[in-house]
Amino acid sequence: MTRTVLVTGGTSGIGRAVAERFAADQAEVFITGRTPGTVEQTAKELGVHGVVCDAADPGRAEACAARLGTLDVLVNAAGGLPQATGGGDEPPLDALLAQWHANLSQNLLTAVLTTASVQDKLTGGSCVISIGSIGAERRGGSYGAAKAALAAWNASLSAELAPRGVTCNVISAGYISGTNFFHGGLSDERRRTLVEETHNKRAGTVDDIAQTAHFLASPGARHLTGQTIHVNGGAFTTR
Ligand SMILES: NC(=O)c1ccc[n+]([C@@H]2O[C@H](COP(=O)([O-])OP(=O)(O)OC[C@H]3O[C@@H](n4cnc5c(N)ncnc54)[C@H](OP(=O)(O)O)[C@@H]3O)[C@@H](O)[C@H]2O)c1
């Protein structure tokens, strides 16, 4: 049976690799992003459906959901480090508030709103996968706090949806190369430090995350729900 898969933030990095992995199964895949040209181009390259949608906008999220029938797999990959928008002359507390709002919006509310918009389309056997971050465990600031909240929300979502047969998990990613996450601003020294923190001495790849998502959506993972799965080469261990 052909599965329907929605990947928010599917135009780049992790989301794109996840979409590609499910498209390889001949699933009917929908990707979203906020930038029309990138959505159109990526959808064409991957042979999937592209929907321009800011996942933090309730109206847009609802309009995107209206395009779907039943949904087998939702991957909330939209997120990242919001780029500063103020001119730098606003009062410090206003700038701080804007930074926190932007991070909570991009890394938490995107997943909350998208999931709520498609909730009645999930069926027994469906799964919700949200991309979290090692930043939730340490050094996270407003970004890490948003990703920690994502994991807390996932636990309650699982309690609500698992009785209907829907699994809900977070993949908490360590440093992953091949994305636009750092907006080109990752220094060689910082990169070396991030790799050095791992046990296997390598950066994560988008495929590491895509394969984990594919497993979470497989029949072998049906008893796995409410969890945060850490994919980071040992840079953070749970014990
Ligand atoms: N790369 C890493 O090292 C790393 C580590 C831990 C966790 N993560 C997480 O992995 C996820 C994917 O990021 P990435 O590393 O693959 O970065 P990326 O290459 O910058 O991809 C981010 C994607 O999300 C989209 N996006 C951002 N905000 C959105 C919104 N409000 N609505 C819809 N789409 C939105 C972007 O497109 P537009 O900007 O055009 O909308 C883009 O498609 C994020 O949640 C990030 O926090 C990344």
**Which among 60, 71, 59 is positioned nearest to 28, based on CA atoms?**
71
The torsion of the CA quartet 10, 75, 214, 151, rounded to 10 degrees, works out to 130
Alpha helix ranges (H) inside 48-202: 58-65, 92-104, 110-118, 141-161, 188-196
How far apart, in whole angstroms, are the C-alpha atoms of residue 206 and residue 171?
12
How far apart, in whole angstroms, are the C-alpha atoms of residue 119 and residue 62?
11
pTM: 0.98
Cβ contact 161:121 at 8 Å: no
Residue 147 Cα: closest atom of ligand 1: 47
* Residues found in the chain: 239
Render each residue's pLDDT in the chain as its tens digit; 239 residues.
Answer: 799 999 999 999 999 999 999 999 999 999 999 999 999 999 999 999 999 999 999 999 999 999 999 999 999 999 999 987 777 789 999 999 999 999 999 999 999 999 999 999 999 999 999 999 999 998 789 999 999 999 999 999 999 999 999 999 999 999 999 999 999 999 999 999 999 999 999 999 999 999 999 999 999 999 999 999 999 999 999 99
Closest Cα to atom 36, ligand 1: which residue?
Answer: 9
Whether residue 175 has its Cβ less than 6 Å from ligand 1: yes
Give distance in angstroms: CA of 138 to centre of ligand 1.
19
What's the confidence (pLDDT) of residue 152?
98
What are the residue boundaries of the structural domains of the chain, listed by start? 4-231
**Which among 36, 46, 37 is positioned nearest to 7, based on CA atoms?**
46
pLDDT digits (tens, 9 = 90+) for 22-61: 999 999 999 999 999 999 999 999 999 999 999 999 999 9
Give distance in angstroms: CA of 181 to centre of ligand 1.
6
State which fold the 4-231 domain adopts.
Rossmann fold (3.40.50)
Task: Say which DSSP state 172 is in.
Answer: E
Give distance in angstroms: CA of 1 to centre of ligand 1.
30
Give distance in angstroms: CA of 79 to centre of ligand 1.
4
Whether residue 123 has its Cβ less than 6 Å from ligand 1: no
Q: Which residue has the tokens 């040992």?
A: 234
